[in-house]
Amino acid sequence: MLRTERRRRAFTLVELLVAIAIIAVLIGLLLPAVQKVRAAAAGISCKNQLKQLALAAHQHHDANEAFPPGHRGKPNADGLAFTGWPLSLLPHLEQQALYAIGLAAFRQTPNFVIAPPHTSLATYIPSFHCAADPFTNQVQVYTKEFTPVTLIDYFGVSGTSATARNGVLFGDSRVRMADIPDGTSNTLLFGERPPAVGFQFGWWYAGTGVNNRGTAEMHLGVREVSGARFPCAGLPAGFVMGKFDDACSVYHFWSFHSGGANFAMADGSVRFLTYSADPSLPQLATRAGGEVVDP
C-alpha cells in the first residue's frame, strides 16, 4: 500500500519579514486606540472621584452647617493648624479610623512645621487620586527633607486668589450654601492639579503652603500669584496646561488629561472644562461676584 508523504513547507525569509511588518502595522494602529480607551477610563475615574469629594463636602455642610475650611491657619482653636478640607472630609469618605489618627497626631504635636506626622499619615487615599496621575497613588519622598508624603490631585477653589478669599474653600473659610448667591451650579468647589517635581506641595493631611496660607497645598485660586518664598515668573498663569517638571505649575489648575481638567461645582455636579474656558474661570471661581458666566 503506497503512502503519500506530505511535506510541510516552511516560511521563507521574505514571507516571515512580511508577516512581521503586518503585525507591526497592526500594533501601530492598535496602540493609539488602546491609549484613547485608557485615557477615557482615567477621565471617568477622575470625575467619579471628584463627585465623591463634592458629595462628602455636602455631607460635611449638612453636619456642620458649612463647607469645611480650605486650610486652617495658626493659631487655630480646634488644634488642627495647617490641616484643611481633606482631613475634614475623611469621616465622609469611609476613613473614620484615619481621621481619628489625624486628630490625635495634630493635637499632640500642634507645631506641624517642626514635627509633621509623616509616618502615621503618609497614607494613600483613593478618593484623592486621579487615575491619570502616576504619582499620587503611592507614597512619595519629599526631596528637600527626604520624608515620606502622599499627595492629592484635587484642590479647593479659593476664588480668584488665596488673598481674595472670594471663592468657597480658602484659608479658615466657613462658607455656607446661603453665602453663594451666584448659585451653586455656577460656582467652582474643587479642581484638578497634579503635584510638581520635588513633591513639596499637595500633602493631603497638612501643609503650610505658600506664605503659610495653604496656597498650592490644599486650595488654589484661578489667578494665583506667587509668594515671596516661592517666586515664579509669569504669574498669574491662568488655566493652562502645566508640566510635572515645572515647579511653577503648582500655581494653577491643570491635569494630565488631554485639553483641560475636571472641576466639581458647589452643587455637586462635575464638568470637564477645556483650557479655552480660561476667560470664564474668574467668574466661576467667585461665589458672590454677580457676573454672567458665558457657558
Residue 60 makes CB contacts below 8 A (sequence gap 6+) with: 66, 67, 68, 88, 89, 92
Q: What is the pLDDT of residues 106-115, one digit of tens each?
A: 877 656 655 5
In terms of Cβ atoms closer than 10 Å to its own Cβ (0-12, 13-18, 19+), residue 87 is buried
Q: What angle do CA 213, 189, 199 make, to 5 degrees?
A: 50
Residue 244's pLDDT is what? Answer: 92
Residue 1's pLDDT is what? Answer: 47
Q: Which residues pair with 141 in a beta bridge?
A: 148
Q: What is the pLDDT of residues 60-82, one digit of tens each?
A: 999 999 999 999 987 777 778 88
Q: Are 202 and 152 in contact (CB under 8 A)?
A: yes
φ and ψ of 149, to 5 deg = -140, 155
Torsion angle, alpha carbons of 129, 131, 132, 138, to 10? 60
Provide the residue ranges of all domains of the chain, joining segments of one domain with +: 38-285
Joined together, the cell numbers standing for residue 110 give: 500642634
Which DSSP symbol is given to 223?
T
Q: What is the pLDDT of residues 127-158, one digit of tens each?
A: 999 999 999 999 898 877 778 888 999 999 99
Residue 45, SS3 per DSSP: helix
Query: In whole numbers, what is the pLDDT of the chain averaged over residues?
Result: 86
Task: Give the pTM.
Answer: 0.85
